[in-house]
Structure 1
Amino acid sequence: MFCEMEPPARESVKRMNPSLWTLGTTVICVKISTGDAQPLNSLASWVDGDSTFHLQPRDETYLTNSTEGDAAIDRLQECGTGGSVWKLGSEAICKVKSWYEGRQLEATTIDFVRKTCPEVPMAEVIYSWIDRPINRTFLIMKRVQARTLNTAWPHLSAAQHMNIAKEVAHHCSSLARITSSRYESISGCGVYEYWLMGKLPASNPSWFYMTVGPFSSIDMKTYMTKISCEILPERPISRVSGLPPNPR
């Protein structure tokens, strides 16, 4: 069921003026000159040129005489009804996602991968929190100054394509060595896996992502046997155009 969050996810971050942003209901981001006195209640900070950005607990005195703010000016991406991404200056981004009790936190997953597979490059997390009154998480990360692979790919040579493919395969192999006897996230939560969820109820809000599990190996096997009532095809269908079906 198509359903917006309240307030909509795309309104989660607003620029109030050139040096002030509201991040949900509990945090503000303040930009000050690096040489100025640093706030004592700073939750996290990062340097951006001659300025320093500070995350602070929301203080309404900062918002006195402010406008309603602009949520679109710094928005980089709108991800349906369940989240959006904003830039905070040129050195950080803010990623907002819908949240509910029992959903895995992305910052925790990033930290786990960094500690378990240090050879796999991961984004640097500056700060993360849950804004429970509005059911969403906020993740502040260092911004990578580069082109996206989608943009760069057409301009790369065949050798560069192959090197990238090999590097990605190597990282996938490293991650595949992390195993568990249970089907669950690293924090024991259910796993968001669209292809294993079966048919979602029509009443499910579009921002409320369903998860599978957590399951023991036995429960997972039982679940997989009941995930679909469709009749199995008689013969496998080839996914490569022009090739006959695989033999029995």
Structure 2
Amino acid sequence: MFHVFIRNVSPLAKPRNPLMCLPIRQCLNAKCFGMMPNSLRNSSKMIVKGTFVPHLKLEYSPLSYCLSKLQLWRLRWYWDHDFRQDAFLEQTKALAVKMSDMGKLRDKPEMVDEFYTSNVTYQMAREASKLPHECCADLMRFRPEDIKKAVPINVDLCNVFGLRYAVVDVAMLGLRHVADCESKADLDAMKQALIQVDSHFKKQLSKPDHSLPHVFVELFMRFRRNYSTPHLMSAEELISDSSPWIVTTYNIRKFNVFTEK
């Protein structure tokens, strides 16, 4: 069981969680920002109370964390000596970005299911229908560096009649500032999507002195890899990358667009 907290530095405001079920207008003024530094430890740091910085924190059961770490070590010791958790999490971030791109390009014929199972297509359509507006999919323009947290929350090593599968559940937190775009076309596309989501954004986006909002998403993804050894392979041979990690479950737990007043 895990929880997501978006903290608020204002002593008068209460922290709010970006619940996807809330109307988008109610989420516009959510001040979801970071914790102040300790001025007693470092007197050279100045606290600016009027400036807000996003801060994400993912917490879940310490027991689950220890069990997940143990299972990942078992995976490395017994099944895959080349497995590295950091490299695996970077790969999961890249796959999460691909899945968000597919949300915008789901009608394109060139999209193939080489890294996800067939049921994920249905799951993506179901998750898109649960978003507050159909244009919210256009706001999910995340890059690997925008996935701020990726934490394995459950690891299963399945061995059934010689068929070996590793299944890893990963919780991800994505956060992107709308102004952080690589091209003007990308920025214009996100602004247009915001206006279509809620016309309230039109006035905010038209004034250069107004800060642009942030897009927050919490994802749950399940990854699976086949570690079954073919009978024709010798015992000394290792599993190669011909059987990659694939996505078997895709779920948008929370989605929110928030900005300061």
Please, what TM-score do these two structures have when normalized by structure 2?
Answer: 0.23
Q: Whose relative contact order is higher, 1 or 2, with alpha carbons under 8 Å and at least 6 apart?
A: 2
Give the structure with the larger helix fraction.
2
Normalising by structure 1, we get a TM-score of 0.23
Indicate the structure (1 or 2) with the bigger Cα radius of gyration.
1
